[in-house]
Chains A and B, each alone.
Chain A
Amino acid sequence: MHLTALLWVCMQAALVVAWCFTDMETGPGAGVSTQPNGDRFKIEGRAIVPGIKTQDWVSTARILVEGEEYVGFVRTDGSFAVNDVPSGSYVVEVVTPNYRFEPVRVDITSKGKMRARLVNYIKTSEVIRQPYPLQIRASGPHTYFMKRETWGWTDFLMNPMVMMMVLPLLIIVLLPKVVNTNDPEMRKEMEQSMNMLNPNPELPDVSELMTKLFSGSKGSSKAGGSSKGTRPAVKRR
């Protein structure tokens, strides 16, 4: 019961805030002008590093608003407040040397109404709402370092160059051993298969073949046509 009531209040608050900001959507410059009356507001929120105790990181954390224009510190429970901020639009960042936090843009109206949205430097007027008070969750530790290229046998063997070199070598060395070439039956079979692979008994010059192939392929789009075209050329020789 209590929870639902709270939820209702939250909803209402969100509605009110949304209504207040409708006039703000006009342009990015709307919230900037500094107020003559000099009202100062407070940006509040909480920074969370999942899985890490707050006391392990709060001492190195700072809250930077617009660069170092306004500075806040993180409480021992991870919450923070930046005091004395005039109305305007600000980028709020949680800065720690070890954890990465996404920055958030906070708009403060001259009446002190707050909203938070995603930072978008290209479409500056785009509004993608973020919760306010801010809930900034670390997206993991910073990755500062490159991985060293480690060297392993598998890397070496899987290298395409090595594969290209080693595989034919294996075939050349191993095939004659596996297949007994002295067996006449086998020899016959091999000759047959060779004939199937290469229909012409005498092999043409490779370069000649290539030029033929290319000139032939230019003429006809079909691969089969080109191969047919080469045959008489070879026979003519």
Chain B
Amino acid sequence: MAKLILLCLKFIILSSAVEAVFEDQVGKFDWRQEYVGKVRFSHFDTHVQSSKKVLLATENNVFAALNTRTGELFWRHVDKTGPEGNIDALLQHGQDVVLVVGNGRLLRSWEINVGGLNWEIVLDSGSFQSACLVGQQDNVKHVAVLKKTVISFHYLSNGHQKWIENLPESETVDYQSVYSDGNGEVYALGIVPHSHIAIVAYSVEDGEIIKQMSVEAAWLSNIQASCVVISQGMLTCVDPLTVSLYMLDLHTESQMTQIPLQSLGLEVAPGFHPVLVSTQPNPGRQPLSEFFLQLGPDYYQLLQLNNGQIVTLRDFKPAMLVSFATTGEKTVAAVMSPKNKTASSLNLFSAETGRRLLDTTLIFNMDPYGGKPEKLHVQAFLKKDDSVGYRVMVQTEDHTLTFIQQPGRVMWTREEALSDVVTMEMVDLPLTGTQAELEGEFGKKADGLMSMVLKRLSSQLILLQAWIAHLWKLFYDARKPRSQVKNEVTIENLSRDEFNLQKMMVMVTSSLKRSCTVHPLSFFPVKLFGIDSKTGSILWRHYLDNIPSNAAFKLMVQRTTAHFPHPPQCTLLIKDKDTGLATLHVFNPIFGKKSHVSPPALPQPILQSLMLPLMDQDYAKVLLLVDDQYKVSAFPSTKNVLQQLQEMASSIFFYLVDSTQGRLSGYRLRTDLSTELIWEVVIPAEVQKIVSVKGKRPNEHVHSQGRVMGDRSVLYKYLNPNLLAVVTESTDLHQERSFVGILLIDGVTGRIIHEAVQRKARGPVHVVHSENWVVYEYWSTKSRRNEFSVIELYEGMELYNSTVFSSLDRPHAPQVLQQSYIFPSYISTLEATLTEKGITSRHLLIGLPSGGILSLPKMFLDPRRPEIVSEQSREENLIPYAPELLIRTEWFINYNQTVSRVRGIYTAPSGLESTCLVVAYGLDIYQTRVYPSKQFDVLKDDYDYMLISSVLFALFFATMISKRLAEVKLLNRAWR
């Protein structure tokens, strides 16, 4: 009992020693940006006049409401990833939104003011085809869901099923669309490709089939792609082969009437599949009789069905995008047409007549580094004078949303691509002009004593001038009210701060992971961002197109900003996973501009890339690329570099991983830039598969070589920089037989340093490898819990060779210590903090599914934690072993700023040893600083200047007064 109390006490003491966020620090060093992803459906909330909501359903399975004034989120609901959370349809009625989720598995109704769920029901299995709201005389009460074999009808108020009917002949007929126009009938439209259209009309009341007909249509293959319903239930289809429109009245059984487009004087651009666009503003009423026909990539025609006749209203050429919007009783068509190279103009046209509405021009300036506009989301509203005004949300190919008001004022932009960050780096900001001037002084060749003195004087003068200007600015700003002082960050005024706390975050975004749900022909936008780490403002963006659909990315910093006047240089390696072919994109990370350096063409598939610490004469680090012939090419490949490589070749080793065959192989570089195999480890692929291989971070420093034990002896760490941690998972997933294995392999010699197997465990395994330890996390199938395990390697009490570590000359195997712990939560990602010199104690940063980022001291994951407390372990400050690790909310570095679906945590050292910069990315991006050992090298931000100065003054006056008193006393004594 006493021991338990002691343990508790110890815990309390330790946990109070660990840092946490103070309430007044909220938002001071950290920021969060919330994203939703690429918009699939959008709906402006129109049920209340002057509503500020726009509802978005996205390809990231997120349903959210945005504030149209600011672009911020009102609320957001993040469903599970993958096809089970996929949002198939969004239907809005009043203050309710109905979503069909997971290929028609769930039907959900949301209350949009609160953002809460009204109801959720499970639908019968079957793949989802279409859904629509069904109303009668402006009174919408039901929703119809069409699946492959059934049609079901639900109440909007509670989701209860009113009726469900099997679709007739569903084995042969492919039902694709459902339509209703408020006359008490629901039509299911199906097709037998290249044969006929099947139309089934159900009664809204009881689901009885009112009529059923099949119409010959041998030319038609897909209803959703080529047909719309207009006017009084006229099914209108377009056939690219015969270049004609076909029309069919759903109410009367009849034949399709063919209207050749030539008879309307229209022509289709060669090779283009025409598209029809119609609108049904109110589900309880008929659709409009006006519709768009797209005849070419930039050619639209507004048509009208008038007394059974198609009339051309207006042609739009060139027009990039069109969209209908309705407000009140008025429906307008918004048309975007190119104006010049960088801008396009939007205009409103009356849908009924095709007349252009006055004063509705809006200019949209396109970002030269962005994508082309892809979709228009128009919010129309009635002005006071009953004319139609509008705002528009333009969606571009790079997933950017831009909300524009007339006459072209951008109200907000959202870079939704940032919800899909794949990799990132942090780059130091450049020095300011004056700092660079000083630096330049040292770089140049000496040219005489006098001129050097003069140069020094002049640069000092410049510094003085800059300082005075800075002081003046401070003084000037202090007089102004705080709200007016703006510190706009632009690329021009970017410069490194004293402690290098502000950096440039280079982020690579790509939505490739969901390639299964995206149309295979659509291409995959890759966008690079440069973000100021202090404020989170996006300083540059660069859109790359022509990226293969299945690419992997690796971002490398080849030259930092330290080598003025050479510009910093980043290289993005883009590798097609299928073919292995790679391309390089070389750019300046501060400005985002493509570099003048032309990257080499890589005709061969690339197996591995590695950055060497070697530099060419321009201080660019050398990137080695290994192709499938095991030949090595270098970038940059100047003579200087090749010469250095030849000299160094015998000490350059690399490894390749083939996870399909379970082969790990080590290679050595030869002087002729070919390679030789020196070791190979085969892990039988039929038993276990390699899931990850982790080396140490190259920029990691270890300060202390060993640990001082309780008896004052030193336990030396085994600091092998070439050590690889290989994690394997069993292919057998049965809970009794599955296991997780970890191998520690020396990457140079292939020597297996340690092997551990965790039985009755399975992945996903998260692993961190640093200093002399490896921490990994797995799921224990036996006890159904997550467990952490830590392996630490020690050389022992003596160091074999304390000056240099060589993998080839280390005769003694290290001592291995291991300990495991229970972790009471799932984890999403794992990373360790990193500081400049490695003096600060380490913390593990754990991304939790709840959105919290836990900063867990490494101290808790220490295999030397004793089960029985002894004097020595107390001396060493070891915490007694406790099986369960605690999650304390005080350790959440992001307090209530949760990061949804956190996928990665990036840590970077700052110029201060105590401070580590942290960026967590997932659906959201969160940036903050952590101080694993508290801020020992700077004054705390709550440092009480008042107290220290008042004490100083008090002491000063006290001495003055006491001195005076003493004098008086002496005098008095002398008089006595």
Q: Which residues of A contact B (CB under 8 A)?
A: 28-29, 32-33, 40, 42, 54-55, 58-60, 62, 64, 66-71, 73-76, 80-81, 83-84, 89, 93, 95, 97-98, 100, 119, 121-122, 124, 142-146, 148-149, 151
A32 CB → nearest B CB, Å: 6
Knowing A71-B85, A83-B122, A146-B890 are in contact, say whether A29-B782 is a contact too (CB < 8 A): yes
- Do B849 and A74 touch (CB < 8 A)? no
Is residue B564 within 8 Å, beta carbon to beta carbon, of the partner chain? no
Is residue B94 within 8 Å, beta carbon to beta carbon, of the partner chain? no
- Do A122 and B822 touch (CB < 8 A)? yes
Knowing A32-B735, A124-B784, A145-B23 are in contact, say whether A93-B122 is a contact too (CB < 8 A): no
Complex CA gap A191/B23 in Å reads 60
- Do B20 and A54 touch (CB < 8 A)? no
Find chain A residues with CB under 8 A from B443 CB.
none
Complex CA gap A50/B22 in Å reads 26
- How many B residues are at the interface, by size bracket? 35 or more
A126 CB → nearest B CB, Å: 12
Complex CA gap A29/B784 in Å reads 8
Is residue B79 within 8 Å, beta carbon to beta carbon, of the partner chain? yes
Knowing A84-B105, A97-B898 are in contact, say whether A73-B122 is a contact too (CB < 8 A): no
Q: How many A-B residue pairs have CB under 8 A?
A: 129
Contact of A75 among B80, B119, B782, B825 (CB under 8 A): B119
A187 CB → nearest B CB, Å: 21
- Do A70 and B783 touch (CB < 8 A)? no
User: Which of B108-116, B514-522, B648-656 contacts the other chain?
Assistant: B108-116
A182 CB → nearest B CB, Å: 14
- Do A59 and B896 touch (CB < 8 A)? no
- Most B-side CB within 10 Å, residue of A67, A119, A151: A67
- Do B22 and A145 touch (CB < 8 A)? yes
Closest residue of chain A to B898, judged by CB? A97
Complex CA gap A73/B97 in Å reads 15
17 further A-B contacts with Cβ under 8 Å, apart from A58-B116, A119-B824, A122-B822, are A40-B122, A55-B116, A58-B115, A59-B75, A66-B826, A68-B826, A68-B901, A70-B80, A73-B117, A75-B120, A121-B783, A121-B824, A142-B889, A142-B896, A144-B890, A144-B895, A148-B23
Find chain A residues with CB under 8 A from B21 CB.
144-146
Closest residue of chain B to A93, judged by CB? B850
Q: Kindly identify, within residues 107 to 155 of chain B, every residue whose CB is under 8 Å from any CB belonging to chain A.
A: 108, 111, 114-120, 122
Contact of A95 among B122, B785, B822, B851 (CB under 8 A): B851
Complex CA gap A60/B75 in Å reads 7
Q: Kindly identify, within residues 19 to 46 of chain B, every residue whose CB is under 8 Å from any CB belonging to chain A.
A: 19-24
- Do B947 and A97 touch (CB < 8 A)? no
- Do B80 and A68 touch (CB < 8 A)? yes
Is residue B180 within 8 Å, beta carbon to beta carbon, of the partner chain? no
Closest residue of chain B to A59, judged by CB? B115
Knowing A59-B115, A81-B120, A148-B24 are in contact, say whether A98-B896 is a contact too (CB < 8 A): yes
A144 CB → nearest B CB, Å: 4
Complex CA gap A143/B851 in Å reads 15
Complex CA gap A89/B785 in Å reads 11
Complex CA gap A32/B896 in Å reads 33
Complex CA gap A71/B84 in Å reads 10
B882 CB → nearest A CB, Å: 10
Q: Which residues of B contact A (CB under 8 A)?
A: 19-24, 74-75, 77-81, 84-85, 102, 105-106, 108, 111, 114-120, 122, 735-736, 781-785, 822, 824-826, 828, 849-851, 883-884, 889-890, 892, 895-898, 901, 942, 944, 947
Find chain B residues with CB under 8 A from A55 CB.
114, 116
A150 CB → nearest B CB, Å: 9
A-B pairs, 9 with minimum CB distance: A59-B115, A67-B826, A76-B116, A144-B895, A59-B75, A97-B896, A58-B116, A145-B23, A55-B114
- Do A95 and B117 touch (CB < 8 A)? no
- List 5 contacting pairs A-B, 8 Å CB cutoff, sorted by A: A29-B782, A59-B74, A75-B118, A80-B117, A144-B892
Closest residue of chain B to A70, judged by CB? B80
- Most A-side CB within 10 Å, residue of B19, B105, B116, B942: B116
Knowing A95-B850, A143-B889, A144-B889 are in contact, say whether A32-B781 is a contact too (CB < 8 A): yes
Complex CA gap A55/B735 in Å reads 42
Find chain B residues with CB under 8 A from A97 CB.
851, 896-898
A33 CB → nearest B CB, Å: 7
Complex CA gap A115/B828 in Å reads 28
Knowing A83-B106, A121-B822, A151-B944 are in contact, say whether A59-B889 is a contact too (CB < 8 A): no
Find chain A residues with CB under 8 A from B828 CB.
67-68
Find chain A residues with CB under 8 A from B895 CB.
144-145
Find chain A residues with CB under 8 A from B785 CB.
121, 124
- Do A75 and B116 touch (CB < 8 A)? yes
Complex CA gap A151/B443 in Å reads 51
B969 CB → nearest A CB, Å: 13
A81 CB → nearest B CB, Å: 6
Complex CA gap A42/B122 in Å reads 10
Knowing A59-B114, A60-B75, A70-B80 are in contact, say whether A33-B22 is a contact too (CB < 8 A): no
Closest residue of chain B to A54, judged by CB? B116
Knowing A59-B116, A76-B117, A83-B120 are in contact, say whether A64-B849 is a contact too (CB < 8 A): yes
Closest residue of chain B to A75, judged by CB? B117
Complex CA gap A80/B78 in Å reads 15
Closest residue of chain A to B944, judged by CB? A151
B752 CB → nearest A CB, Å: 32
A159 CB → nearest B CB, Å: 13
Closest residue of chain A to B21, judged by CB? A145
- Do A144 and B117 touch (CB < 8 A)? no
Find chain A residues with CB under 8 A from B897 CB.
97
Complex CA gap A97/B735 in Å reads 34
Complex CA gap A151/B942 in Å reads 11
- Do B784 and A89 touch (CB < 8 A)? yes
Find chain A residues with CB under 8 A from B118 CB.
75-76
Closest residue of chain B to A78, judged by CB? B116
